[in-house]
Amino acid sequence: MSGFAAVLRKDLRLELRSGESTLALLALSMLVLVVLVFALGAARVRSVDAAAGALWVAMVFAGMLGANRALLAERDNGAIRGLLLSPLDPSTLYAAKLCAAFIFMAVAEVGAVILMVLFFNLDFDASMARLAPILVLGAIGFSALATLLSAITGRTRGGDMLLPILVVPIFVPALIAGVKASAAALSGAPFESMGDWLKIMIAFDVLFVTAGYLLFEHVVGGD
């Protein structure tokens, strides 16, 4: 447990010091939203479906960057080897990296939601509170998956390009559920109506956090 706290604290301290990741994530989210506003055209920018879709596109791109960043710090000076040699469990390392990626993503999401409301002419009202759990579930699932897979792509040639190719198809179920649930939340539908979508997201999160926890040692260890 102390290893988990030490790694997470170290990652957050590095992030607070430079602010690189969070800023990059926020900038990317904003650009994605701007591009989508122009791509969709002013007429469609009023619909909550478009807003929910745009929010999730921003989230997927920012999440990819966030997961990469969480492992990037370990590549300088080969620090990852120092961690693997220490008594720290690879699974604990995964848990800490997952938390760090989640926190970076959550910060970017708050920014993205604010921008979405402004760009898509929505209101800051009760629908935001309904949106929060959906985004949290989405960010957990995405961080879990992307942390595991970026440990793979970070160690192969041309890996940064491979990460989206591997992550996006696997993330599809959570993406479908997230977009649908977000659109429902923004249009003011009752919470119960999103129940099935939330269940899919919870199942996705449980499955991929467990898988990452169990499989991480195979992707960081050896050779």
Binding-site ranges for other proteins (CB under 8 A): 2-3, 5-7, 10, 13-14, 17-18, 73, 76-79, 81-89, 145, 148-149, 152-153, 155-159, 162, 165-166, 168-170, 172-174, 176-177, 180, 196-197, 200, 203-204, 207-208, 211, 215, 218-219, 222-223
Shortest distance, position 79 Cβ to other proteins, whole Å: 5
Is 132 or 217 the residue whose CB approaches other proteins more closely?
217
Structure tokens at 127: 């629908």
Shortest distance, position 74 Cβ to other proteins, whole Å: 9
Structure tokens at 106: 């959550």
Shortest distance, position 81 Cβ to other proteins, whole Å: 6
DSSP assignment string, 18-72: H-HHHHHHHHHHHHHHHHHHHHH-TTGGG-HHHHHHHHHHHHHHHHHHHHHHHHH
DSSP assignment string, 76-116: GGGHHHHHHHSS--HHHHHHHHHHHHHHHHHHHHHHHHHHH
Is 88 or 132 the residue whose CB approaches other proteins more closely?
88
Is 40 or 162 the residue whose CB approaches other proteins more closely?
162
Is 25 or 83 the residue whose CB approaches other proteins more closely?
83
Shortest distance, position 106 Cβ to other proteins, whole Å: 22
Of 66, 63, 60, 40, the closest CA to residue 51 belongs to: 40
What type of residue sits at position 95?
A
